[in-house]
């Protein structure tokens, strides 16, 4: 069933959701991938489309050009910072975030950052602006750590987001994932942390993330469970990695691609 489970946020609830995740999960076969490519190719387009859970939740609405800000930098900085904290390479979150910011600045100073990158942006900020970025990231990362530390299973921060490019259909997919819980019985339970409170279409976004995570893997296997955590609202939404959710997620991605295509054509006309 494509059921969406809603729980109040607590370490017990997270541990239970990880512990009783189904042992089996859906896998995308070559046939599934070919069928998805065919559906994407059938959608009208005049441009390359970049889709993620947000575009699915907002029904394909065009987003404004990306610009770095303290809010969207906190996840990119907070994830490696938490890796430093959980591996004992930093004493506390503030130190870890500061180290990550310094690392970016050094990278840019040594000419290893491209214009538009996070490193480039951070380098061009004043000390005060950088302190704002650090404060925002520390708040985000500490909130995440506060939720995760009491969870009874092993968890690790995700190394990267999930990317899948459907080149012949001019579609790129980006599935966000923040951390992975592993238990004795299940292999992968993926968590995503979100700001604000879940919207009515949050379930669709989770299913899209589940699909993109599965497609990005060579074996095509989806996570056993995909959990969205909204710390501001104290809520958890979760879906299982079954065929119904995978189908619903794939369908919503194709629908969003179609809407984006129509929108681009409308603007071009």
Partner 1 sequence: MSSATMTAEPRITDILRGNRDNRPAANRAAAGHYRQLIEGALENLTTRVSTLGPLVIRAHHLDPVPFVHIGPAFPLAQLRGALISELLRLLSTGQSVRRPFEDAREAWAFSHPHSPLHRTLEECDADDLARVATDVTAHAVTLIKALGPVNPHWQPRTDVSVVQHLRGGDIVVRDRLDLVLGSSREAVASEALFDVTTSPLSSRSDAVLRYHALMETLRTGVVPLRVVALSTATGDRVQYEVDDALLARAVSELQTAIITEWNRP
The SS3 of residue 34 is: helix
CB of 265 to partner 1, least distance (A): 30
Whole-angstrom CA distances from 85 to 4, 177, 191, 227 are 32, 19, 18, 23
Measured over the CA atoms of residue 55, residue 58, residue 62 and residue 68, the dihedral's sign is negative
19 is an interface residue for partner 1 by CB under 8 A: no
44 is an interface residue for partner 1 by CB under 8 A: no
- The residue from 5, 95, 103, 251 that contacts partner 1 (CB under 8 A) is 95
CB of 59 to partner 1, least distance (A): 18
Cβ neighbors of 16 (< 8 A, separation 6 or more) are none
Site size toward partner 1, by CB under 8 A: 36
149 is an interface residue for partner 1 by CB under 8 A: yes
Residues 194-233 that bind partner 1 (CB under 8 A): 195-197, 231-233
The helix or strand, by DSSP H or E, that contains position 228, with its residue range, turns out to be strand 225-230
User: What's the CA dihedral at 85, 88, 91, 95 to 10 degrees?
Assistant: -50
- Per the listing, tokens 């054509």 go with 265
**Backbone dihedral region of 105: left (phi > 0), alpha (psi from -120 to 50 degrees) or beta?**
alpha
- Per the listing, tokens 């969870």 go with 151
CB of 5 to partner 1, least distance (A): 17
Q: Could you tell me which stretch among 45-53, 109-117, 140-148, 168-176 binds partner 1 (CB under 8 A)? A: 140-148
129 is an interface residue for partner 1 by CB under 8 A: yes
Q: Could you tell me which stretch among 14-22, 137-145, 172-180, 243-251 binds partner 1 (CB under 8 A)? A: 137-145
Q: Which is nearer to partner 1, 138 or 250 (CB)?
A: 138
Q: Which residues bind partner 1 (CB under 8 A)?
A: 8-11, 69-70, 91-95, 125-129, 131-132, 134-136, 138-139, 142-143, 145-146, 149-150, 195-197, 231-234
């Amino acid at each position: 069933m494509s059921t969406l489970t809603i729980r109040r946020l607590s370490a017990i609830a997270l541990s239970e959701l990880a512990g009783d995740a189904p042992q089996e999960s859906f896998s995308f076969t070559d046939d599934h991938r070919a069928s998805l490519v065919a559906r994407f190719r059938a959608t009208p387009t005049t441009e390359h489309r970049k889709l993620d859970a947000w575009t699915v939740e907002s029904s394909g609405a065009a987003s404004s050009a990306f610009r770095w800000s303290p809010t969207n930098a906190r996840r990119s900085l907070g994830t490696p910072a938490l890796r430093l904290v959980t591996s004992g390479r930093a004493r506390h979150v503030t130190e870890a975030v500061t180290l990550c910011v310094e690392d970016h600045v050094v990278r840019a100073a040594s000419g290893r950052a491209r214009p538009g990158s996070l490193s480039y942006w951070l380098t061009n900020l004043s000390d005060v602006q950088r302190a704002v970025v650090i404060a925002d990231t520390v708040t985000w990362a500490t909130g995440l750590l506060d939720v995760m530390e009491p969870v009874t299973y092993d968890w690790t921060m995700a190394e990267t987001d999930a990317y899948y490019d459907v080149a012949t259909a001019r579609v790129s997919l980006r599935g966000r994932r923040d951390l992975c819980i592993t238990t004795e019985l299940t292999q992968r339970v993926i968590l995503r942390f979100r700001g604000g409170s879940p919207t009515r279409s949050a379930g669709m976004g989770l299913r899209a993330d589940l699909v993109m995570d599965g497609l990005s893997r060579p074996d095509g296997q989806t996570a056993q469970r995909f959990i969205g955590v909204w710390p501001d609202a104290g809520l958890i939404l979760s879906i299982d990695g079954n065929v119904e959710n995978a189908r619903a997620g794939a369908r919503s991605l194709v629908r969003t691609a179609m809407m984006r295509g129509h929108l681009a054509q409308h603007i071009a006309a």
